[in-house]
Amino acid sequence: MSRGLWSRETVALMLIASCLPMTLSWLWFGGLLELAELSLTLLAVSMWHIVFMLLRAQPPSLSAVTTAIAIAMLAPEELGVFRMVLGISFGVVMGELVFGGWGRNVVNPATVTLSFLGFGFPSFVWPIFDEPVAWAVLPAALIGMATGAMPAAVVLGATIFGAIAFMWGGLSEPVIMVAGIVLVLVVADPVTSAATTLGRWINGGLYAALTTLFAVGWAGAAPVQIAVAAALLSSLAAPLLDETALAIWVGRRRRRHGRS
C-alpha cells in the first residue's frame, strides 16, 4: 500500500503533524507534569512496538506517537506509573500489535487503553481541557483532512450530526469540546474507521449520535468518558457499516446490470 512518497509511515507522520498544534497547546497549559505523562506513555508504547519487532519481526510504526499522545491527553488523572503501564500494555498489545501491527488492527489501541483504564479504575478522575486546546481541534482536523490522513467523511459526518444535536440541545459545550478532541485523536483514524465513503459518513454520524445519547442518558459520566465510550462502540461498528455500504453497492449494480 505505498505509492511514491506515501507509505504507512508517511500517513503516521501526517497524523502526528495534524495532532501537533493541539498537543503543543495542551503541553503549554499543562506544564511539566503533562510532559512527564507524555514521556511515560511514549516510552511504554514504543517499548511494546520494539518487543514485537524483536520477537515477531513486525516493523515498528510511528503511529506509536499518536497513540501515546492520545493516551497521555485522555487518560484519567494521577493514575500512577504502574496502572498506566498496565493499561497501555493491554491496549497496545491486545488492540493493535496482536493483529500484526498498525494497519491491521480493528480497534484503535488508544481507545482500548482508555476504556480499560476507565472500567478497571473507575475511581480516578477524567481530565478536563482548557478552551484553547479544544480550539486546536480545528487546525488538527484541517491538516488531517487536507493531507488525506484523516478520512474527511468521518470528520464531516460527526461535525454535521454534532451541530444538529447541539442546536436541538442534546450536547452541552464541555461535551462538544471533548468530543472534538477525541474525534481527531482516535475516531478519525484511517485504520479503524470505516473504509467506504458511505460507511465513513455513517461512522462519523454514529459517533456523534452515541455521544449525544450518552450525554443525555448517562448520569454522572465525565465528558471524556462519554466520548471514549462512543469512540469504542463506533469503531466496533465500522466493519458492519462497511459491509452495509458494500451490500448496497452490490445490490445497486445488480439491479442496474442484471446478475453480476
Partner 1 sequence: MPARPDYWRILTQPLIRQNPVTLQILGICSALAVTTTLVTSLTMSVSLTVVLTLSTGIISAIRRHIPDSIRLIVQIVIVASLVIVIDQILQAYFAEISRALSVYVGLITTNCLVLGRTEAYARHHFPIPAMIDGFGNGLGYSLILIVIGGLRELLGKGALFGIQILPLADAGGWFTPLSLMLLAPSAFFLLGLLVWAIRWILPEQAEASEHPEALRPEPAE
Given a contact cutoff of 8 angstroms between Cβ atoms, the answer to whether 108 and 192 are in contact is: yes
DSSP string, 55-100: HH-PPP-THHHHHHHHHHHHSPTT--HHHHHHHHHHHHHHHTGGGT
Q: Report if residue 98 touches partner 1, rule: CB under 8 A.
A: yes
Q: Report if residue 8 touches partner 1, rule: CB under 8 A.
A: yes
Q: Report if residue 90 touches partner 1, rule: CB under 8 A.
A: yes
180 CB-near residues (< 8 Å, 6+ apart): 134, 137, 141
Q: Report if residue 2 touches partner 1, rule: CB under 8 A.
A: yes
Q: What's the CA gap between 93 and 48, in Å, rounded?
A: 7
Q: How far is the CB of 232 from partner 1 (least distance, A)?
A: 12
Q: Report if residue 26 touches partner 1, rule: CB under 8 A.
A: no
| Residue pointed to by grid coordinates 442496474 | 256
Q: What's the CA gap between 234 and 120, in Å, rounded?
A: 21
Q: Report if residue 168 touches partner 1, rule: CB under 8 A.
A: no
Q: Report if residue 221 touches partner 1, rule: CB under 8 A.
A: no
Residues 48-67 that bind partner 1 (CB under 8 A): 59
Q: Report if residue 1 touches partner 1, rule: CB under 8 A.
A: yes
Nearest residue to 182 via CA among 230, 132, 146, 124 = 230
Q: What's the CA gap between 23 and 191, in Å, rounded?
A: 21
Which residue's CB is nearer to partner 1, number 120 or number 174?
A: 120
**Residue range at the interface with partner 1 (CB under 8 A); choices 70-78, 112-120, 184-192, 234-242:** 112-120
Q: Report if residue 195 touches partner 1, rule: CB under 8 A.
A: no
Alpha carbon 76 to its chain centroid, in Å, reads 16
Task: Tell me which of 32, 119, 257, 259 binds partner 1, using CB under 8 A.
Answer: 119
Which residue's CB is nearer to partner 1, number 8 or number 200?
A: 8
Site of interaction with partner 1 (CB under 8 A): 1-2, 7-9, 59, 83, 90, 94, 98, 101, 103-104, 116, 119-122
